[in-house]
Amino acid sequence: MTPFDTAIRNGTVVTESDQFRADIGIRAGRIAAIGEIGMAGEEIDAAGLLVLPGGIDSHCHIEQQRADGSTDEESFTTGSASALAGGTTSVITFAAQIKGQPIGPTLAAYRASAARAMVDYSFHQIITDPTDAVIHEEIPALVRAGIRSLKVFLTYDASHVDDRGLLRVLAAARRAGALVTVHCENYDAIGWRTEALLAAGHQAPKYHPWSRPAVVEREATYRAIALAELVDQPIQIFHVSCAEVAEEIARAQARGLKLWAETCPQYLVLTEGDMDRPGFEGAKFMCSPPPRGPEAAAGMWAHIRRGTLGIVSSDHSGFSYDSARGKRAGGPQASFRDIPNGIPGLAARLALLFSEGVSERRISASDFVRLTSANPARLFGLADKGRIAPGADADLVLWDPARRVTLTNALMRHAIDYTPYEGKVVQGWPVLTMLRGRVAMREGEVLAQPGDGRFLPRGPYDYIRPSGVLAQDFDASAFA
């Protein structure tokens, strides 16, 4: 009998705190030993490669139902292929409540679609309509079903909640033991500026960032933080775009609030200038919040190093350029208001962050592991993920830190017909991705099968427990 199913030998293991040469022995899908490893059924040579924990993308939109009745082009099968190609082994996607409807069987429907996934998965539940039934019955039921994170939008016609709605969701999450994640932009400010821009004849994609400058994001971020502080409910701010916003977060973190924040590669490598490309091309770079000016990335790297921004996710959001519901569906003269927001980035996330971060010596390889795997596992309660340690799931990536690759849409393996990173050269690339001990991707070839992914139910965990600090020591969430 061989003691291990698989041995990974000669690699350099990278954890969030350390980097060392060791072999890894895997048994029954889990890491069984690290160090000098005996015989194994399957041998994998990782000489010259880094061995990283599989990426966890805690913010991506896959096969999501939209308010107009349509569904994202990116399916769990194509989305998983893209994840594996880029070195990601777990995703947290979204189950969406449609305004005016109960959550009802939503989670069951998403779980049925995700049964075809090839990576492990969980969901954030989007709350767009916090009715009494949603607040008092459906959110507690979701948490019992293993969903420990809710998302609220402070903008978008189809999904925004007002301050009272946000307070109700924060209080419900506090009672149930869930994290709240927030899209922070001011709905009315964007609507007002959009009307003015269109009245002035400014409708090209380049005016999208004009409709929602940084102050619009900063105001909503400050408001979300203040209301979360009032309720004493931990939150995560999604997709922070610039230092002006990160500074609000850093100030609140310094006061001891349980507050976390993520950013995405688009805020490190794209700029608002990309939306000013000739013709309609700028639409390919439109997301919200938008990438900012050319000076923004330096400030973002400073906040990444400082720990204000603890997670880098993709916010992969699938709209092709040329498809029935894609960026150009309204024709090449469509106003920025009518172009769907969101850009793809599931496969490119790790390579972009490694290249711009580790290869460019802005962060260490351990920082990279913390930002892309360890912190998402910690924040979202994925106890078996994000670590290279005995007992953890054997979700691993063999990473070539020296390989230079020119990004193309074909390499992304997604259903979307473009990548905003076409032609960008990165240094550092995943050569093998392993999901629970099985090789799921080797040299770009996806070997996993639909259904290989598993739902990750999330139980209670201490990290997101409220701090217990309440104004006048009165817990309003116990009553409303």
Which lies closer to ligand URP via its Cβ, residue 262 or residue 452? 262
If DSSP codes are grouped into helix, strand and coil, which group holds residue 88? strand
Give the whole-angstrom CA distance, residue 394 versus residue 213.
43
Find the shortest distance in angstroms from Cβ 335 to ligand URP.
Answer: 16
Footprint on residues 230-259 left by Zn ion (CB under 5 A): 238
Would you tell me how many other CB atoms lie within 10 Å of the CB of residue 68?
Answer: 8
* Helix or strand holding residue 124 (H, E): strand 120-126
160 contacts Zn ion (rule: CB under 5 A): no
Q: What's the number of CA atoms in the CB half-sphere (13 Å) around residue 55?
A: 33
Q: Which of 315, 356, 384, 452 binds ligand URP (CB under 6 A)?
A: 315
Which residue's C-beta sits nearest to ligand URP? Answer: 342
Which residue's C-beta sits nearest to Zn ion? Answer: 183
Find the shortest distance in angstroms from Cβ 15 to ligand URP.
Answer: 30
Footprint on residues 309-328 left by Zn ion (CB under 5 A): 315
Give the whole-angstrom CA distance, residue 290 versus residue 279.
19
Footprint on residues 71-100 left by Zn ion (CB under 5 A): none
284 contacts ligand URP (rule: CB under 6 A): no
116 contacts ligand URP (rule: CB under 6 A): no
Q: How many residues are listed for the chain in this entry?
A: 480
Q: Which of 143, 154, 245, 287 binds ligand URP (CB under 6 A)?
A: 287
Which lies closer to Zn ion via its Cβ, residue 23 or residue 57? 57
Q: What is the dihedral sign for C-alpha 333, 282, 201, 161?
A: positive
Beta carbons of 95 and 124 less than 8 angstroms apart = yes
Residue 384 binds what, of Zn ion, ligand URP, none (CB under 5 to 8 Å, by partner type)?
A: none
359 contacts ligand URP (rule: CB under 6 A): no
Give the whole-angstrom CA distance, residue 171 versus residue 477.
5
Binding mask 126-165 for ligand URP (x = CB under 6 A): ----------------------------------------
Find the shortest distance in angstroms from Cβ 7 to Zn ion.
Answer: 39
Two structure tokens written together for 305: 């190093």
Residue 341 binds what, of Zn ion, ligand URP, none (CB under 5 to 8 Å, by partner type)?
A: ligand URP
Footprint on residues 193-252 left by ligand URP (CB under 6 A): 239
Residues 6+ apart with CB under 8 A from 235: 170, 179, 180, 181, 182, 224, 225, 228, 258, 259, 260
Q: Can you name the residues that pair with 399 across neighbouring β-strands?
A: 50, 430
Give the whole-angstrom CA distance, residue 265 versus residue 354.
10
Find the shortest distance in angstroms from Cβ 183 to Zn ion.
Answer: 3
Residue 287 binds what, of Zn ion, ligand URP, none (CB under 5 to 8 Å, by partner type)?
A: ligand URP
Residue 323 binds what, of ligand URP, Zn ion, none (CB under 5 to 8 Å, by partner type)?
A: none
Task: Give the CA distances from residue 69 to residues 97, 292, 476, in Å, rounded to whole numbers and listed in that order.
Answer: 12, 32, 37
* Helix or strand holding residue 194 (H, E): helix 187-199
Footprint on residues 177-216 left by Zn ion (CB under 5 A): 183
Find the shortest distance in angstroms from Cβ 238 to ligand URP.
Answer: 6
Find the shortest distance in angstroms from Cβ 61 to ligand URP.
Answer: 6
Q: Which of 106, 113, 288, 320 binds ligand URP (CB under 6 A)?
A: 288
Which lies closer to ligand URP via its Cβ, residue 245 or residue 394? 245
Residue 307 binds what, of ligand URP, Zn ion, none (CB under 5 to 8 Å, by partner type)?
A: none
Which lies closer to ligand URP via its Cβ, residue 317 or residue 372? 317
* Helix-helix angle 214-231:243-254, to 10 degrees: 20
Using CA atoms in the order 234, 238, 243, 245, what is the torsion angle rounded to 10 degrees? -60
First to last CA, the chain: 60
Would you tell me how many other CB atoms lie within 10 Å of the CB of residue 138?
Answer: 22
61 contacts ligand URP (rule: CB under 6 A): yes
Binding mask 158-197 for ligand URP (x = CB under 6 A): -------------------------x--------------
Q: Can you name the residues that pair with 179 across neighbouring β-strands?
A: 149
342 contacts ligand URP (rule: CB under 6 A): yes
Find the shortest distance in angstroms from Cβ 95 to ligand URP.
Answer: 14
Residues 6+ apart with CB under 8 A from 260: 234, 235, 236, 237, 310, 311, 375, 379
Residues that bind Zn ion (CB under 5 A): 183, 238, 315
Residues that bind ligand URP (CB under 6 A): 61, 183, 239, 287-288, 315, 317, 341-342
